[in-house]
Structures are given as C-alpha cells and as structure tokens.
Chains A and B, each alone.
Chain A
C-alpha cells in the first residue's frame, strides 16, 4: 500500500529513436525502472549508451528528430508521452527538473542570475514580483551561494564554474519538484568542487525530499550517491539492483568488466583488466546481446538472441544469458 503511494515514476519498456539520414538510431531500446519518493537512482554506462536520451525522454526534451516509439513513462500513474505541450510545460520544472554538465545550457548569458531565477518562479507559481525576488534569494542561500543579494545582480560569466552549477541547481529546485534529474552534473568540475556539489545535492534531498536520477559515467559518483543503480549498454539495461548488488554481486558480464577495468584503492599494484574491443555502433547492432562482440564469455545463444531479464536477487535483475546457465545448472544439480 505505502509502496504504491511512494511510487513517483515508472519507465516501462521505453524505446526512443532518432530518425536520421543514416537511418533509425535506436538510442534507447527497452529501458524499465521505477523511482520512489526521496530515493536516488543512478544510471551508469559508457558514452553513447543512452543515459542522456533516457533522461531527456523523461523530461520530454528530445531533439526534433527523436521520438519515444514504444513504451510508457508514467508520472504518478499517468503516461506523460501522451500529454500535450501545455501539460508538459507545467510538468517540467514543477514536477521534474533537470540539470546538466554545462550550466550554460540552462542559464542565459545575457540576463542576470536574479532575473532568470525570478522569471522561472513567476512562470510556475502564483507569486508576485516581490515574493518571487525573495524566493530567489532564499534559493541562492539554500544552495550555498554567498552574498545572494549581490549575486542576483551578476551575470553568469561573472561566477566560477562551481557557483554557476549551484545557481543552476537553485533554478531547477525553485518550484520544489518531486524529481531532480542530474545529467553528469559534476563531470566538468574538479574533485574538490565535485565534492561540494554532491554534498549539496544530498543535503537538499534531505531538506526537500525530492527523488534524484543521477546520470553519470563515473562509478565513484554512483557508489557514493545512489540507492539503486541501472547499468546501460548500447541503449539497453544490462542490470539493475541496489548499489551493493551491482558493486559486490555483478550479474552481467559488462558490469563485471567495467568494475575490473577501473583503478581502485585495492587493485593499485595490479594490472588493470580492460574490456577488449571498441565501443558499440548503434547503426550496426549485433543481432543478439549488444555486448556480445566484446564479451569474453559469449556463448552461441548470445549471438542469436537478445537476453531476457532475469531476477537474480531480491531487487536485482540482469539481462545476460550467463544467469540462465547458472539457474539451469543449479536446477540440474538439485534434481
């Protein structure tokens, strides 16, 4: 019962494609997950795996050539892919907000910080100009911008990278959305500033209670922020589960390879084990498992058929034929 009420977002078999001169680019190919109130979900995968396109599909801010071709995105039970622009523009900002790697994607260089914050608040609330101004100052204070009153009069270029990131977060949260999507929010920042921003996001989540979708290629950021994790490869979900499932009991060959290939404090004096081969080309997808051309343990079935998703733990699911083998073998052992 309570689980039902906590459910904010259901992404159900999402397929998103771009229709280009070179053909249909199937950027997202059957992504499924749920997001509950106040939780942090991580989406991780190498560049081009479809993380951003998944995020943009949820925001409905895809490029003109892109379209959700199959599946549903349900916000509190309603499929937003069926909504008109009017309904969507209320949903964006008030219900779900997004921040990007580059703050200048959200900030306009020719207007002051204060003007932009105020406009965003006026657009989404019934506040009058003075109230909106007050709210903007409040938000800047909340995200740790010092001397907020004078910052309001400054232009984005007058701020440091970390400060601009804070302003973008203030902008995204000024209408207290239920969900904040963060698309590589700290990728361009130094580790010290990254730590500030991650700390800020966790802090704001405690205060405001929003759910976060953290999109990143950085396994360190994922491990330190997320309750649940989705691992993507070639537009598909390889594996999903809790942070402990993914890091301590990976059940997809790609996840295993990914974890072996990163330098950690443990493997410092060992040789890294890279994943062989080259990144995937979406215009030339293998027939079976997307990871097959780079998988050391590929079997015959992997070439032929896309692996189905299997439950491998309480909250842990993986799409790799290896698990079926394991299940099959353990069944056989029992018999």
Chain B
C-alpha cells in the first residue's frame, strides 16, 4: 500500500509540442512546449506559472492528448498513454545511434476514451465554455451519457442533482440555462460537469482567473474540499502567483516552453533560485501597503521573445542579468538542488 502511494499518478517525460506555422511559403515549427518533464502524485496539486504564451495551456491540453504530442512520453496510473519512442539515458540525454540519429524504441498511442473519464479539464472562461442553449442538467448530464454512467433516467437525474450539491448548487438550478448564472456559478457548473465522470485528475486552466476575489475564494475552497473528499490531483494553471501558492503543494515555473524551476510551493516562493522566478516573484503586487512601501521590484526589461525566434542556449538569457557566455552556447539542464528543488540555470 505505502509502496503504491509513492507512485506518481501522472508522469510526463521529455514532452514536446511543436505547432507548424506558416512563415511566407514555409512551415516552421513553433516550439510551444520543448522538452518538459514532471510528475504529479495522487491527490496532489501542482501549480504551473509563467507569462502568457509560455506554454501552460499547451502542456495541459497535450497531456490530456487534446493535441497529439510531437514527442515524449505520458504515463497515467502506470499506463503509458503516449510514447513517441525516443530513448533517454539516466541523465536525461537523448540516446543516439552510430550515425548520430535519435535511437527509437516502440511508439505507443492508446485509445483515450477510457482515460477521458479519469482526466478532466476546467477552463478559464465560464461564459464561453458552456453552451448557453443547454440547461444545467443537460450540461452536467452530457458526460454521464457519453460514458454510460447510469442505468435509467431516474439514476441520471439523481447523479446530476448530487453533483450540483457537491459544487454548492441545488435542484432549482438544474432546469435553468447557463446564461442565467453569474460567473462564479458558471464556474461551479463547469466543475460539476468535470466531476460527473469521477476523475482522479483535473487540469484547471485559469479556472478562477476571471472571477472577482470574493467569489474566487469560494471556488478555491471548493477545489480544496473536493481534493480532501475525493483525492483528486490538480494541474493548477494560473497567472496569479499568490492564488497558485495558496492552492499548490508544488509549483513549476515555465518560460518560453521550458521548465525553469520546480519546488515545493512555500520553498519556491520563499527561496527561489532561478533568475526568472526571482523577477516574477518580485513583480507581484502584494496587497499590503507597508510591504509595498519597502519592497523593491526587479524590473524585467523588454518582452518575452517570440517562440519562433527562440534564443540559443538558455531561453531566458536575453532578459537575464546573470547571463554569461556559456548561457548563449548551451541550454542549462534542470538539476536537483536538494529536497526535490530543481532549477535550470548555469550561474545560480
């Protein structure tokens, strides 16, 4: 049993997601996610942060295989969902054959339908992700239909009502249309729908970002309660770092499709190592006037480069004040700095 508990629920290795985009007459790859590895334990929340366009949504969608991964390996509950077959050694270096080409193992692509039940997604915009012409009962009941999760009409209705209750809505709400609800209530409907299939893993993509703070707190508490009760693991994507710290056990920081740092939530927020994390954290406006008067923002110059013009070596080097020559030559690997705190930087 305790053996079992130590096994990750989700294991992502060397995941790549390239989108072909047109540039003139050519198609070139936009490297939205470039060689990312991480694990999520059962019942754990991994927060994922980084500036917009750094690839957070793409990671979420790719591990649910809503996109076909360009390369890498995704395993869920011991089952390999996808494996492009590239081989890596212990240090994480790709194994090449005599001619210097990537050595290939067996390619695996399983049918996702059974896993759609276990892996769900909740989106940012409660306004556009729900069909306004459907009643709440239809919206929440739809996944029950898809996966044949009831014997008769009565059982279906009972299930829908109990799901609504779980997210703090009631029977009176079931007959109404999504557009009649406020933002917070719509987000609850979206969550009830995700819960319908009894998942063990949910990707929450900016799921509370559009809500007012008072309502946001209601929904955050609900996510925590559901985790306590049902043991669900979350990949929690959000740009508000204080929200992410609040809900996450561990936090991963992305930049330009790469993983820069990953650590326990409090460790990452209090003892960040990576120069990018440092400036990201110092940019958070703290809701406390006294702290604000004494804090100093590390202002990052300029913008994130386009992923179509990825810098050589370290992706962050164009904005990094610690950058040295080596940073332009070689990409820093993500290395363990103790207690599972990992960071990808040559100079820190």
Quick one: closest B residue to A274, CB to CB? Answer: B217
- Write the B179-190 contact mask toward A (1 if CB under 8 angstroms, else 0): 000111100000
Candidates B214, B283, B290, B303; contact of A191 at CB < 8 Å:
B283
In the complex, whether A108 has a CB less than 8 A from a CB of chain B is no
B300–A46 contact, CB under 8 A?
A: no
Asked whether B198 is an interface residue with its Cβ less than 8 Å from the other chain, the reply is no
Contact with B along A103-133 (1 / 0, CB 8 A): 0000000000000000000000000000000
Known: A191-B283, A224-B285. A258 touches B213 (CB 8 A): yes
Contact of B283 among A192, A222, A257, A271 (CB under 8 A): A192
| Residue among B185, B291, B303 having the largest count of chain A Cβ atoms under 10 Å | B303
Stretch in A84-92, A134-142, A212-220 touching the partner: A212-220
Binds A, one of B78-86, B116-124, B241-249: B241-249
Interface assignment of A283: CB less than 8 Å from any CB of chain B:
no
Closest A residue to B306 by CB, please name it: A160
Q: Are A218 and B285 in contact (CB under 8 A)?
A: yes
Q: Say whether A324 faces chain B, with CB atoms less than 8 Å apart.
A: no
**Interface size class for chain B?**
35 or more
Number of interface residues of A (CB under 8 A): 45
- B280 CB contacts on chain A under 8 angstroms: 191-192
Residue of A nearest to B297 (CB): A195
CB distance from A224 to the nearest CB of B (A): 4
CB pair A261 B292 closer than 8 Å: no
Contact A262 B182 (CB under 8 A): no
List CB contacts (< 8 Å) of B172-219 with chain A: 182-185, 212-218
Q: Within the complex, what minimum Cβ distance (angstroms) separates A289 from chain B? A: 16
Q: Is the CB of B285 within 8 A of A220?
A: yes
Q: Which residue of B lies closest to A267 (CB)?
A: B246
Q: Cβ of B279 < 8 Å from any Cβ of A?
A: yes
Instruction: Kindly provide the distance from the CB of B187 to the nearest chain A CB, expressed in whole angstroms.
Output: 12
What are the residues of chain B within 8 A of A275 when measuring CB–CB? 214-215, 217-218
Residues in chain A near residue B288, CB distance under 8 A: 223, 247, 264-265
Q: Is B220 an interface residue (CB 8 A)?
A: yes
Q: Mark B50-72, 1 if CB is under 8 A from A, else 0.
A: 01100000000000000000000
Asked if A30 CB lies within 8 Å of chain B CBs, one says: no
Instruction: Give Cα A220–Cα B243 distance, bound, in whole angstroms.
Output: 12
CB distance from B203 to the nearest CB of A (A): 21
Q: Which residues of B contact A274 (CB under 8 A)?
A: 214-218, 221
Assuming A192-B300, A195-B297, is B246 touching A263 (CB within 8 A)? yes
Q: Is A148 located at the chain interface by the 8 A CB criterion? A: no
Chain B CB within 8 A of A47 CB: yes
A15 to chain B, nearest CB (A): 24
- Docked Cα-Cα span, A173 to B16, in Å, equals 45
Complexed CA–CA distance, A40 and B292 (Å): 15
| B299 within 8 A of partner (CB) | yes
Out of A219, A259, A278, name the residue touching B184 (CB < 8 Å): A278
A278, B219: Cα distance in complex, Å? 12
Across the interface, A190 reaches (CB within 8 A) one of B51, B215, B269, B287, namely B51
The residues of B that contact A248 with a CB separation of less than 8 Å are 289
Residues of A within 8 A of B52 (CB): 190
23 CB < 8 A contacts A-B: A46-B212, A160-B303, A162-B303, A191-B239, A192-B280, A196-B300, A220-B242, A223-B285, A223-B286, A223-B288, A223-B291, A224-B286, A244-B289, A247-B288, A247-B289, A258-B214, A262-B242, A264-B287, A268-B245, A268-B266, A274-B218, A276-B218, A279-B212
9 nearest CB pairs, A to B: A220-B285, A274-B217, A275-B214, A195-B283, A263-B246, A261-B217, A224-B292, A46-B212, A219-B287
